[in-house]
Chains A and B, each alone.
Chain A
């Protein structure tokens, strides 16, 4: 304690003799410009942080609701469309219908031509 008092005692404006040691220390701390400035800075920072948090929250809310209204239905519907396309493809392959523009379609035609050309050559 004595060491701290000695340190504080060296500060200007803290050397009143009538008060107790603790009171003198606390008043000197609370009156010092550094603490005042620090407290102000802290309160400013808190306000700014609060405002920032609030505005980010608001922005997030707006972005989120906009997303919910504009994009979520789109995603769901496109997914459904894709599922339906896949289902159709599966059904088509199960039923054995020749898929358009593939090698399977070309092969029978080639075969059908081959005997004809063979017959012609004979």
Chain B
């Protein structure tokens, strides 16, 4: 499930990339996409207008509510982000990170290497066009482009360039948004081709599928997904030919609180994980907590100290008997917009 997992793993609208503050972003994204439309549809009449179904959520964002609660950007060490808007559409960002990074290793114990980097970024945000660039002191460059070619067709470009060979990545996405469906075509380097399509079949249920082909590794796959959402809950299910089953359920308890749970089964590695999380959005802070069947306990707090000044506290405690044991604590600040 190369493509699906990578989609599921990466939160689609990266909060670090967007210059808006994290709390409003979370608030806007945590709410179901268009509850008032569904409310109207239900309130006006019980009869469903089958020719006028709402537009579904994009296929790669199908689990976004669950990801919002269960996958906060946990970090270890110190983080400082500063964003300065030059004018309405243009902003510069500076970010410093000092902490330890995990190095992937063959043995079961975790090797951590202290790292520090500075990141310089520029954002250009316009209703029709979005350009985001990030450059790190260790030579990595990240560029994202989102451009509305017509009202319905959107082009997205994502590029990651490194100075190590064979690690650079590039990806072109063409998104077409119809009245009650969305489709996407992807072209990436290493001869990656993917396509997905999602269709609303009732005002609340949407079904989608995807195919992808990895030319260099001669692999292909197909996946199916379903999403059912009301204004109080969201349920999604995803199956792929690579042997991954992912189910998620998010319940919005009140205006401030939502609870999320997720179940993941990997047939190849016989790996089963389930996790449960809460997401509290209060006036001065946003707090997310997670408990995992692997014994991972994590919490992420974004506290608004002042207008435009946010304090971040991140904690992750991983305790499994006789294998990986890890404690990660981090604190940080975001200043500006």
Contacts and interface: CB of A to CB of B under 8 A. Distances in A.
A86 interface: no
A80 interface: yes
B301 A62 contact: no
A53 interface: no
B285 A66 contact: no
Main secondary structure of the interface of A (DSSP, over half): helix
A66 B297 CA distance: 6
A81 B284 contact: yes
B315 interface: yes
Given A73-B287, A74-B287, A80-B284, A62 B319 contact: yes
B317 A74 contact: no
A69 B297 contact: yes
A10 B298 CA distance: 69
A71 to B, nearest CB: 8
A65 B291 CA distance: 12
A5 to B, nearest CB: 56
A70 interface: yes
Interface residues of B, number: 18
Interface string B278-310: 101011110101010000011101010000000
B301 A77 contact: yes
Interface size class of chain A, counting residues whose CB lies under 8 Å from the partner chain: 10 to 19
Contacts of A80: 282, 284-285
A81 B282 contact: yes
A62 to B, nearest CB: 7
Interface string B231-269: 000000000000000000000000000000000000000
Given A62-B319, A65-B317, A73 B283 contact: no
A78 interface: yes
Contacts of B280: 74, 77-78
A77 B319 contact: no
A80 to B, nearest CB: 7
B320 to A, nearest CB: 11
Nearest to B327: A65
Interface in A77-110: 77-78, 80-81, 84
B211 to A, nearest CB: 40
A73 B301 contact: yes
A78 B282 CA distance: 8
24 contacts: A62-B319, A65-B297, A66-B297, A66-B317, A69-B298, A69-B315, A69-B317, A70-B289, A70-B291, A70-B297, A70-B299, A73-B287, A73-B299, A73-B313, A74-B280, A74-B289, A77-B282, A77-B285, A77-B287, A77-B303, A78-B280, A78-B282, A80-B284, A84-B283
Interface of A: 62, 65-66, 69-70, 73-74, 77-78, 80-81, 84
Interface of B: 278, 280, 282-285, 287, 289, 291, 297-299, 301, 303, 313, 315, 317, 319
Given A69-B317, A78-B282, A80-B284, 16 more contacts: A65-B317, A66-B297, A69-B289, A70-B289, A70-B297, A73-B289, A73-B299, A73-B301, A74-B287, A74-B289, A77-B280, A77-B287, A77-B301, A77-B303, A80-B285, A81-B283
